[in-house]
Amino acid sequence: MKPINDNNIDEILFQLLEGEITGTERERLLEAIHADEAYSKLWMAWQKTVLTPDQDEAPLNLAPLKKKTARIIPIHFRYAAAAALVLSIGTAILLNQSGSDKSFADTKPVGKKPVIQTPALQPNSVNTPFKSPEDTVVPLKEKVRFIAHKNLEIPEQVSPETHLPQEIDPIVIDPPINQKLVNQTLPEKSSPEIKPIAPISETILVSIENEPNTKTSIQAEKTSLFSRITGGSRIKIENDSTTRTSKKIIIENRKYQIIAGF
Partner 1 sequence: MTEKEYNTSVDLHASALFRFIKKNLNVREDAENIVQDTFESLWLNLKKVEFEKCKSWLFTTAYRKMIDGIRREKKMVEMPESYREKGKEAAQPDLKSILNSAIQKLPEIQRSVIMLRDYEGYDYAEIGNITGLNESQVKVYIFRARQTLKNYLVSIENII
The residues of the shown chain that bind partner 1, judged by CB under 8 A, are 10-11, 14, 17-18, 42, 45-46, 48-54, 57-60, 62, 64-67, 69
Smallest gap, in angstroms, from Cβ of residue 57 to partner 1? Answer: 7
Smallest gap, in angstroms, from Cβ of residue 64 to partner 1? Answer: 7
Helix H or strand E segment including 91: helix 77-107
Torsion on CA atoms 222, 226, 227, 231, rounded to nearest 10: 180
Smallest gap, in angstroms, from Cβ of residue 44 to partner 1? Answer: 9
Smallest gap, in angstroms, from Cβ of residue 42 to partner 1? Answer: 8
Instruction: Rank residues 50 and 237 by Cβ distance to partner 1 and give the closer one.
Output: 50
Instruction: Rank residues 48 and 189 by Cβ distance to partner 1 and give the closer one.
Output: 48
Instruction: Rank residues 61 and 241 by Cβ distance to partner 1 and give the closer one.
Output: 61
**φ, ψ dihedrals at 52, nearest 5°:** -125, 145
Do 258 and 250 meet the contact criterion of CB atoms below 8 Å apart?
yes
Smallest gap, in angstroms, from Cβ of residue 73 to partner 1? Answer: 15
Helix H or strand E segment including 261: strand 257-261
Smallest gap, in angstroms, from Cβ of residue 46 to partner 1? Answer: 5
Do 137 and 227 meet the contact criterion of CB atoms below 8 Å apart?
no
Determine whether 81 is exposed, middle or buried from the number of CB atoms within 10 Å of its CB (0-12, 13-18, 19+): exposed
CA 46, CA 39: separation in Å to the nearest integer? 10
CA 18, CA 47: separation in Å to the nearest integer? 10
Instruction: Rank residues 70 and 110 by Cβ distance to partner 1 and give the closer one.
Output: 70
Instruction: Rank residues 74 and 111 by Cβ distance to partner 1 and give the closer one.
Output: 74
Integer angstrom CA distances of residue 214 from 140, 173, 197, 209, 219: 17, 10, 39, 10, 11
Integer angstrom CA distances of residue 82 from 76, 77, 89, 96: 10, 9, 11, 21
Instruction: Rank residues 23 and 59 by Cβ distance to partner 1 and give the closer one.
Output: 59
Q: DSSP letters of 25-40? A: HHHHHHHHHHHSHHHH
Instruction: Rank residues 66 and 244 by Cβ distance to partner 1 and give the closer one.
Output: 66
Smallest gap, in angstroms, from Cβ of residue 62 to partner 1? Answer: 5
Smallest gap, in angstroms, from Cβ of residue 3 to partner 1? Answer: 20
Instruction: Rank residues 63 and 105 by Cβ distance to partner 1 and give the closer one.
Output: 63
CA 210, CA 180: separation in Å to the nearest integer? 9
